[in-house]
């Protein structure tokens, strides 16, 4: 697996929505690639932050959907927005 494929699988992997075979390949790539490993850690952290926020504020479904879409497209930026807004 290369970084491009790992990047595509990243958000599905955070949600546990990839197949067993894909996950094996993905984790193998992470074990060899520091950049993707850090990216994956960030994605997991962001997902936790979003989850906490949704529970705390009981955000309407439309907002949740928007946040989820932002997460898919730009994990790092979303995380900063959520932390510092
Ligand atoms: Zn990589």
The answer to whether 7 and 39 have CB atoms below 8 angstroms apart is: yes
Q: Which are the contacts of 29, defined by CB distance < 8 A and separation ≥ 6?
A: 1, 2, 3, 5, 6, 36
Rounded to two decimals, the pTM is: 0.59
Using CA atoms, how far apart are residues 68 and 65, in angstroms rounded to an integer?
A: 5
Q: Please give the distance, rounded to the nearest whole angstrom, from the Cα atom of residue 58 to the centre of ligand 1.
A: 35
Residues with CB under 5 A from ligand 1 (ion): 3, 6, 33, 36
Tally of domains within the chain: 1
Distance 4 CA to ligand 1 centre (A): 7
Report pLDDT digits (tens) over 75-84: 555 555 555 5
pLDDT of 75 reads 53
Domain that holds residue 22: 3-84
What is the Cα–Cα distance from 18 to 25, expressed in whole angstroms?
11
DSSP 63-83: HHHHHHHHHHH-HHHHHHHHH
pLDDT of residue 46 exceeding 80, the answer is yes
Rounded average pLDDT over 8-24? 93
Distance from residue 30's CA to the centre of ligand 1 (Å)? 7
What distance in angstroms lies between residue 2's CA and the mean position of ligand 1's atoms? 6
């Amino acid at each position: 697996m290369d970084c491009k494929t790992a990047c595509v699988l990243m958000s599905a992997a955070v949600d546990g929505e990839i197949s067993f075979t894909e996950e094996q390949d993905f984790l193998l790539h992470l074990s060899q690639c520091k950049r993707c490993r850090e990216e994956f850690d960030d994605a997991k952290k962001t997902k936790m932050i979003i989850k906490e926020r949704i529970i705390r504020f009981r955000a309407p479904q439309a907002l949740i959907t928007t946040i989820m879409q932002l997460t898919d497209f730009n994990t790092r930026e979303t995380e900063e927005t959520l932390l510092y807004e």
